[in-house]
Amino acid sequence: MSRARQSMYPGPVAPTYWSILDQCLQHLHASSSNASPPPTSASLAPAHHSTLVRRFEARELNAASTSLHHGTYDFPRLAQVVDSRRAFDTVTESEVTAAQRELANEMQPQISELIQRAESGLETMKKRERLLRTRVEKRATLPSRAPLVAPNLDALETELDALRKKKQALGKQVEGLEQQLTEANKPRGAFGRRVGAPPR
């Protein structure tokens, strides 16, 4: 998070600033072995000001670098944690019930239509099976024509077996659709768990 650069002087310079600076310089040169007269604050003001500015900028840059490091050094671990874990939203039971009801209302017409189509197709298969069975039985009661219709009987038996398999498949589809409709209409508890269902 970036910070606005602060002013070097938060307020106007105090009237005693330069006098205090002169005193500091006098004490500094008095404690040294150099016998030359100390420079005045007027001659050192530009250089001292630029030095203070550079030091302040270096300190601010260091602080910004430290803040950036503290804010981003843990990023690889956090990225790995986010990639390896799922985030779950906590919802109330009323929200789950409303979502379940909306989903059931949306799915019920389609499932009902599929069940009706499957039942209609199953009835058609049953009628065709009965018709083929009747034709096979009639052909079987004619002994004189049995050698002539033997290939036809085999074909009819094959077709009858195929229809029987289709009938079983349609029956399973109808059962699956009815089960889905039943599951969709079951009440759910908190966190989307069906009432009466064992916990995962």
Question: Is the same domain home to 129 and 56?
Answer: no
CA distance 162 to 129: 10
Question: Is the same domain home to 151 and 109?
Answer: yes
Q: Is 174 part of a structural domain of the chain? A: yes
Question: Is the same domain home to 71 and 99?
Answer: no
Question: Is the same domain home to 105 and 176?
Answer: yes
- The CATH number linked to 168 is 1.10.287
pTM: 0.30
Q: Is 67 part of a structural domain of the chain? A: yes
Question: Is the same domain home to 122 and 48?
Answer: no
Question: Is the same domain home to 181 and 105?
Answer: yes
Question: Is the same domain home to 118 and 148?
Answer: yes
Q: Is 9 part of a structural domain of the chain? A: no
Count the domains in the chain: 2
**Domain span holding position 64:** 18-31+41-82
Q: Is 4 part of a structural domain of the chain? A: no
Q: Is 71 part of a structural domain of the chain? A: yes
Question: Is the same domain home to 123 and 185?
Answer: yes
Give, to the nearest 10 degrees, the angle between helix 93-140 and helix 146-185: 170
Q: Is 139 part of a structural domain of the chain? A: yes
Question: Is the same domain home to 71 and 23?
Answer: yes
Q: Would you give per-residue pLDDT tens digits along the chain (200 residues)? A: 444 444 444 455 556 666 666 666 666 666 554 545 555 555 555 666 677 777 878 888 888 888 877 777 777 877 777 777 666 677 888 988 999 899 888 988 888 898 889 888 889 988 888 888 888 888 888 765 545 455 577 788 888 888 888 888 888 888 888 888 887 777 655 455 554 555 44
* 68-122 per-position pLDDT tens digit: 777 777 778 777 777 776 666 778 889 889 998 998 889 888 888 988 898 888 8
